[in-house]
């Protein structure tokens, strides 16, 4: 009997790929293999990231497919209903990215507050910057509002308390009433209360019908003029037209996005937004540290091998 074939459709760290290729129980087809385009007819398993979308049409063609494993938490790039109908298991790697995404979140907050990216761009352009005219803002003792009380939000809160000694406001209508008992915080049941009282607003929720355009014009109207908005979650949570208006009219201090509706972001798609010096945009790299890519990529490989062997895995979604 032939071995199950695992197709790797997106970039994975070389250490994870070595582990996959070392397994005697599967055949690996990597991205540089000429057979990669034949995955719909040949794949027993898929390893993907956010770059690849798996549609209902794909799944209808993929008659052999048994499992899809996505590196990362969000699985909005997979048609879950179609996968369920076809009996295809879908798994992710929850909590693996939490530390690195939280780290980037804090870094972006500091970059906006101290105008680091803006000043770097101006120096590189040859401008003689008068430092007395480009004052930044301190985040010491400031309040962060964390929207989404999951693994990433919790680590952001802990890092904020340790680094800034600031207050924490949390909002999550789905989290247990006992969530975050080890963290000193104020939990609110109305998002508007968080928006009014926070100096920094950090989004850590999945993209769903309920969170689509969660932050739009009425929400920006509630924020302080000195507020910083951070989105290291998913594109679509922030209404980008409303954000453009808020930044252009200085309704908020600044914003940093590691997740956009158009990914990867381009100057063509974001020409107007990128004109704002108080904006930082990074191409969804929250989980992109060497350490995390090795660990989470290895977890994907271990999950694929386990599911193909018929084992139960705790990170299976359907």
Edge-first strand order for the sheet with 144-147 is: 186-188, 168-171, 144-147, 200-203, 228-231, 254-257, 279-281
pLDDT in tens, 241-250: 999 999 999 9
Q: How far apart are CA 250 and CA 267, in angstroms?
A: 22
Please provide the CATH number assigned to the domain covering 5-96+291-308.
Answer: 3.40.50.720
Cβ burial, residue 105 (10 Å; 0-12/13-18/19+) = buried
Instruction: State yes or no: pLDDT of 1 exceeds 70.
Output: no
The structure's pTM equals 0.88
Distance CA 182, CA 193 (A): 22
Q: What H or E segment, with its residue span, contains residue 228?
A: strand 228-231
The CATH number assigned to the domain with range 98-281 reads 3.40.50.720
How do residues 145-196 score in pLDDT, each as one tens digit? Answer: 999 999 999 999 999 999 999 999 999 999 999 999 999 999 999 999 999 9
Collapse the DSSP code of 54 into the 3-class scheme (helix H, G, I; strand E, B; otherwise coil) and give the result. Answer: strand
- Taking only the tens place, the pLDDT of each residue in 231-281 is 999 999 999 999 999 999 999 999 999 999 999 999 999 999 999 999 999
Question: Catalytic residues, which ones?
Answer: 234, 263, 284
Which residues of the chain form CATH 3.40.50.720?
Answer: 5-96+291-308, 98-281
Compute the distance between CA of residue 228 and CA of residue 116 in angstroms, rounded to an integer. Answer: 14
């Amino acid at each position: 009997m032939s071995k199950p074939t695992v197709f790797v459709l997106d970039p994975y760290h070389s250490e994870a790929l070595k582990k996959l290729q070392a397994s005697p129980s599967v055949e690996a087809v990597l991205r540089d293999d000429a057979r990669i385009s034949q995955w719909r007819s040949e794949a027993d398993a898929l390893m993907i990231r956010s770059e690849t979308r798996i549609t209902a049409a794909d799944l209808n063609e993929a008659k052999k497919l048994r499992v899809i494993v996505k590196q990362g938490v969000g699985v909005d790039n997979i048609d879950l209903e179609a996968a369920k109908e076809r009996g295809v298991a879908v798994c992710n790697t929850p909590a693996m990215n939490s530390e690195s995404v939280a780290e980037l979140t804090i870094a972006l907050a500091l970059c906006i507050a101290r105008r680091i990216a803006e000043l770097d761009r101006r120096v590189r352009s040859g401008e003689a910057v008068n430092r007395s005219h480009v004052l930044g803002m301190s985040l010491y003792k400031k309040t962060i509002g964390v929207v989404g009380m999951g693994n990433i939000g919790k680590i952001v809160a802990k890092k904020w308390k340790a680094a800034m000694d600031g207050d924490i406001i949390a909002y999550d209508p789905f989290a247990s009433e006992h969530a975050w008992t080890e963290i000193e915080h104020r939990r609110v049941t109305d998002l508007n209360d968080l928006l009014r009282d926070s100096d920094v607003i950090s989004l850590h929720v999945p993209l769903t019908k309920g969170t689509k355009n969660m932050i739009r014009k009425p929400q920006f109207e509630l924020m302080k003029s000195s507020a910083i908005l951070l989105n290291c979650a998913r594109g679509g949570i922030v209404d980008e037209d409303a954000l453009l208006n808020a930044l252009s009219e200085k309704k908020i201090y600044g914003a940093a996005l590691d997740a956009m509706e158009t990914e990867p972001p381009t100057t063509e798609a974001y020409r107007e937004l990128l004109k704002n010096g108080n904006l930082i945009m990074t191409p969804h790299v929250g989980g992109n540290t060497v350490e995390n890519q090795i660990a989470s990529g290895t977890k994907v490989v271990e999950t694929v091998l386990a599911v193909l062997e018929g084992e139960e895995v705790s990170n299976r979604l359907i």
